[in-house]
Structure 1
Amino acid sequence: MNSILSRTTAVAALFLAGTVSAGAETVLRFSDYGPNRGTRAAALEWFAAELDKRTDGDLKIEFFWGGSLLGGRDTLAGVGDGVADMGTVIGFFTPKELQLYNIGDLPVENSDMWVGLNAMYDLSNSEMIAEEFSKANVKFVTNYTTGPVQLICRSEVSSLDDLDGLKIRASGPYGDTLERLGAEIVRMSQADVYQALDSGLLDCNQNYYYAMQAYRQYEVAPYVLAMDWGQNMSFGIAINEMTYSDFSDENKEVFDQLSRDFIDHLAEQMEQTDQAALESMVSGGEGAGITVAQLSEEDRARLNEASVQSIDEWTARVSENGADGEALLAEYQKLIEDYKAKQ
């Protein structure tokens, strides 16, 4: 009786921990806040299929989409506690636990997705950020990107001077920078932006080409200022440390290589999606076409200069909390330049 009870308890513990083993097969429960659609979700499905193939079926992934297992704000703690084995983590949701990882959301001078993803991958595997993840009982796996920031507006905006006094929905250090340039910043979710633009509550919205198309914002805001400004990349995948440590050495090697390969795969898919969305909106493929204005070189220099204050504020805040923010920023910027040189 005692042995039967012990076995039952052990099986229950495996389910509670989120890892289900059947013979040599291990099923990893993956929590994601988003729906199972779009480029990022397709890339995750690719990751799962490749993991299954490359480990000869030893490692499989079961997805829990739409926050059905853990909400976005709860994923870091939930993966660390073993509620899920893997999950999508967002640094913006956990600014205290992942303050160093939030470097990925700074408006640095790089809007190239491949460069940014590779730089963040290397940086997140460096000692400082790896230790930060480890304190949460998780291991960094790989990274996502939103792609470069653009502005979609109700009326024509062709320069930074035109932003003065406009009501712009923006977030994080990008919103802080736009505010310094004279904009009135409004905080709201993308789901509410369409109505706000349509009613005039907003003049412009910080967004990405593929998301403008997905939310059909071009219907009520037919003008875009192509800022090609930074990226949000405090946005990636983590795995429970104990789950990872239980992998065989061979499967760890496969898993780590796939995590690196994911960077190239996602960058290619995201770039194609963003470009296709832009071309469709410009051509009027889904209605009246949008008009795109390019940021001048003078304005770009001014935007980068204004961004420096947001970057410096982050560095100072991190340093006040006991970390070497300047050293981490220098490493990040060097990685960006190194990967630009490799293109």
Structure 2
Amino acid sequence: MQKYLSYTAVAAISLAFAGEAMATEWNVSLWGKRRAFTEHVEKLAELVSEKTNGDFTLNISYGGLSNNRENLDGISIGAFEMAQFCAGYHRDKNPSITVLELPFLGVETLEQERKLSMALYDHPAVEADLARWNATLLMPSPMPQYNLVGMGDAPRSLDDFEGLSVRATGGIGAAMEAVGAVPTSMTATEVRQAMDSGVVKAVAFAPHAHMAFGTIENGDWWTANLNPGTVNCPVVANTDALEGLSDAHREALLGSIEEALDHYVDNYTNNTMEAWGPALEERGIEVISFDDESLQKFEEAVAGPAAAAWIEDMGNRNLPAQELYDFATGKLAELKGDS
């Protein structure tokens, strides 16, 4: 006798298949290892999964999906749905946001960096710039001012940087060049080998990266207050993938960004920075501070010319460079006034 499934069984099977169809998995391309720099992505994955009862998951890969200089390329072709990158790794791919990497821009806190970045990411020229890569900017990875860990004789004055080979990207590289150093641009994952082989004698990083990528294992000295600038490293989504999400999943993702950034800033402030001083002390790394007069001369020699060169260069690329620069500096002044 032919057997038929009951209406209840059919309904149960249909719901099961519907549940499968609604489940969404995104691949996320990062690099290195889990560290302060990636905590907002980790938190975002946690929040999205919680809010969707596991129906939307972010599968985070540390280097298994792409080279860190090619994350934007992977996003553009949909090889993965989300990625982190640093503007200074490939300024030609994302020229608009390199305004935030200008030396001595004047950002003082992680919260200022966070709010300034989020404001710039909404600028029409920036959105159009990243749209060339089918990318939508989601959130920054706020970092404090970069400083140098180096090997050998410590610089006692700015003149001592003459001829020093330094890993420095973007505007920080321009700043180091202005004091006679020889900047080399390389990704974070290449730095330890470059130090071990003597290709560079010093590395410009934020504290978390000095710890995560082992520069302090080689270092003899640390510049506590050079503060030439920082690097802007956004997290982006493939625009088609973002638009293809259900309303509920899109809300779960976008509605979790601020909480993920809160977690990031809190972790960086209360964990990373608390660990930094003891990490230097344990390794006997000398802390170098420069006097105010030297730092003022450094800033005066670098900031204005770097900004003028950036505006001219980006204007030649048909970007509204002066507008972007004025927007960034004006917004930063506003943020400082509010704090």
Normalising by the smaller structure, the TM-score range is 0.7 to 0.9
Per the alignment, residue 243 of structure 2 pairs with 245
Q: Does residue 148 in structure 1 map to residue 145 in structure 2? A: yes
TM-superposed CA distance for 1:124, in Å, is: 0.8
**Number of residue pairs aligned between Structure 1 and Structure 2:** 314
Pair 1:312-2:308 in alignment: yes
Instruction: Tell whether the 8 Å contact from 1:157 to 1:224 is kept in structure 2 after alignment.
Output: no
The 2-side partners of 1:187 and 1:132 are apart by 23
Q: 1:210 to 1:29 in 2, by over 3 A?
A: closer
- Out of 276, 292, 295, the position equivalent to 1:300 is 295
Quote the Cα distance in structure 1 between the aligned partners of 2:148 and 2:87: 23
- After TM superposition, give the deviation of residue 150 of structure 1 in Å: 0.7
Equivalent AA in structure 1 for residue 85 of structure 2 = V
Task: Give yes or no for contact 2:170–2:231 (8 Å, CA) kept in 1.
Answer: no
SS at match of 1:224: strand
Asked whether the 8 Å contact 1:155–1:203 carries over to 2, the reply is: no
Deviations 1:6-33 (A, max 9, x none): xxxxxxxxxxxxxxx823221111122x
Q: Is the contact made by 2:149 and 2:219 (CA closer than 8 Å) also made in structure 1?
A: yes
Q: What is the Cα deviation at residue 53 of structure 1?
A: 1.5
Post-superposition offset of 1:186: 4.5
| Structure 2 spans left out of the alignment, 5+ residues | 1-18
Residue 118 of structure 2 corresponds to which residue in structure 1? 121
In structure 1, distance between residues paired with 2:261 and 2:194: 30
Preserved contact between residue 35 and residue 41 of structure 1 (Cα < 8 Å):
no
Partner of 1:106: 102
**One of 263, 272, 275 as aligned partner of 2:273:** 275
Q: 1:170 to 1:41 in 2, by over 3 A?
A: closer
Q: 1:205 to 1:119 in 2, by over 3 A?
A: same
Distance 1:71 1:143, change over 3 A: same
Q: Which moved more, 1:301-310 or 1:163-172?
A: 163-172
- 1:259: how far off? 2.0
Deviation at 1:166, TM superposition (A): 3.2
Distance 1:114 1:195, change over 3 A: same
Do residues 96 (structure 1) and 95 (structure 2) align?
no
> For residues 214 and 149 of structure 1, do their structure 2 counterparts lie closer, same or farther at Cα, with a shift above 3 Å needed?
same
Q: Which amino acid aligns with 1:291?
A: E
Equivalent residue number for residue 210 of structure 1: 208
**What's the Cα RMSD here?**
2.4
Other-structure match for 1:195: 196
Distance 1:157 1:260, change over 3 A: same
Query: AA paired with 2:334?
Result: D
Give me the whole-angstrom Cα distance separating, in 2, the residues matched to 1:75 and 1:315: 26
Counterparts in 2 of 1:39-54, with a 5 A limit?
Answer: 39-54=36-51
User: Which amino acid in 2 is paired with 1:96?
Assistant: D
Give unpaired runs (5+ residues) of structure 1: 1-20
Q: After superposition, what is the alpha-carbon deviation per residue over 1:216-250, rounded to whole angstroms, capped at 9, x for unaligned?
A: 434443222212332101x1111111211122334
Deviations, residues 51-84 of structure 1 (Å, cap 9, x unaligned): 1112343421112221x22222332122222211
When structure 1 is superposed on structure 2, of 300-309 and 179-188 the one drifting more is 179-188
1:260 to 1:125, Cα distance in 2 relative to 1, 3 A: farther
1:160 aligned onto 2:158: yes
Distance 2:337 2:51 in 1: 31
| Residue type of the alignment partner of 1:104 | L
Larger radius of gyration: 2
Q: Secondary structure at the match of 2:95?
A: coil
> What's the secondary structure of 2:253's corresponding residue?
helix
> Matched residues in 2 for 1:309 and 1:141: separation?
31
The answer (yes or no) to whether the contact 1:193–1:205 under 8 Å persists in 2 is: no
